[in-house]
Amino acid sequence: MANDYLFTSESVSEGHPDKVCDRISDEVVDLFLNADPGARVACETLTTTNRIVLAGEVRGPSHLMDGDGVDKDMIEKLARAAVKDIGYEQDGFHHETAEVEIYLHAQSKDIAQGVDAAGNKDEGAGDQGLMFGFACRETDVLMPAPIHFSHRILKELADTRHADAKSGLGPDSKSQVTLVYENGVPVRAASVVVSTQHDEHMEQEDIREVVRAHVEKVLPAGWMPPEDEFYVNPTGRFVIGGPDGDAGLTGRKIIVDTYGGAAPHGGGAFSGKDPTKVDRSAAYAARYVAKNVVAAGLADRCIIQVAYAIGVSKPLSLYVNTEGTGKVGEDKLVKAISEVMDLSPRGIREKLDLARGIYAPSAAYGHFGRTPTDEGHFSWERTDLAEDLKAALT
């Protein structure tokens, strides 16, 4: 790995068309899990001009959506409420007037029999696949700095928009941060790009100054890029945005959701999936393990990979790479992790308490590097495994 380089990551706001879809899909997951912790959900959402379409498979209270328990009216109200909370009250996309279509049906019995525990068979993975987790010391939340700052810039803009109806800012926005690394450490921003939807009356220079204040707040002192490398709404106008400007789909921002390209990604999206889907739960577990390895002082950087087969409870493989920063051998870390963390789907779900409605807040501004809450959100960001890992190595 080179010592001196530039590295770039991007983020998108809660009002980005794809993120609107992620939010709605995760609201459906939460709805079902709050009604039944054993519910199964695989919900995909499409948004376009004043239209919301949900499709997928569910099992739980009224899995046939026949009006008993969770029904289509509840889901439609939930989707509209999510769009309202994000802030869409525009002619081309409005929480009251958008057409909502729901095509959720029962989960395949073939999939269900592989996942369900029965007799001596433990709960199996909901699909095959490989998942990655990552942690590093570039920020206090043990995340890569470019994605961390990209998320925070947009969250600051969103907080301002929600707090001030006259801010002139719209829900749809994107950021991109390029950092200069010297001797493998980020030292300043080479460039920052922010595009934000805005009211018709706002001038380009006004938007630039609004954005500048938030970027300066987020970046460490002295890290602002040169003025000619600070790009705000480079096209000059961003009035039409959200699903009215571009169609959105669940799961299209997987690199934004994870590490901004600083670490591998297994390919599976998170949003819209209950915790039997290892695309989601095992990626959370891999982040949890990697973060605790770094938090324990066992490495400065840590990549974890796990792999699964559908219907099989035990992971097929566990890989650890500390990128030359490990304080102990990676073979010893694999052994210690296996001792202190059950990486079966059931083990992950129980350790991180994932079988409840905690997912909607993760739909925007990243699934990782967030603050765990007393209500169980972002439990995979805890560092309570660090001491167990150290003990297993003694």
Question: In this structure, are residues 136 and 143 in contact, taking their beta carbons and an 8 Å threshold?
Answer: yes
If we measure between CA atoms, which residue out of 235, 270, 276 comes closest to residue 254?
A: 270
d(CA 248, CA 332): 44
**Is 257 assigned to a binding site?**
no
Annotated catalytic residues are 16, 18-19, 44, 57, 174, 238, 246-247, 252-253, 273, 277, 279
**Is 377 assigned to a binding site?**
no
CB neighbour list of residue 217: distance below 8 Å, 6 or more residues apart: 156
**Is 314 assigned to a binding site?**
no
d(CA 371, CA 377): 8
Question: In this structure, are residues 179 and 7 in contact, taking their beta carbons and an 8 Å threshold?
Answer: yes
**Is 22 assigned to a binding site?**
no
The CA angle 222-223-228, to the nearest 5 degrees, is 110
d(CA 266, CA 276): 17
**Is 238 assigned to a binding site?**
yes
**Is 217 assigned to a binding site?**
no
**Site of tokens 């925070």:** 152
**Is 172 assigned to a binding site?**
yes
**Is 277 assigned to a binding site?**
yes
If we measure between CA atoms, which residue out of 349, 312, 351 comes closest to residue 123?
A: 312
5 secondary structure, DSSP code: E
117 secondary structure, DSSP code: -
Taking each helix axis from N to C terminus, what angle separates 278-295 and 345-352, rounded to the nearest 10 degrees?
A: 60
Residue type, 185: V
The CA angle 144-150-156, to the nearest 5 degrees, is 130
**Is 246 assigned to a binding site?**
yes
**Is 162 assigned to a binding site?**
no
If we measure between CA atoms, which residue out of 284, 291, 292 comes closest to residue 258?
A: 284
**Is 335 assigned to a binding site?**
no
Q: Which residues pair with 106 in a beta bridge?
A: 58
**Is 368 assigned to a binding site?**
no
The annotation places the binding site at: 16, 18, 44, 57, 107, 172-174, 237-238, 246, 252-253, 269, 273, 277
The annotation places the binding site for K(+) at: 44
The annotation places the binding site for Mg(2+) at: 18
The annotation places the binding site for ATP at: 16, 172-174, 237-238, 246, 252-253, 269, 273
The annotation places the binding site for L-methionine at: 57, 107, 246, 277
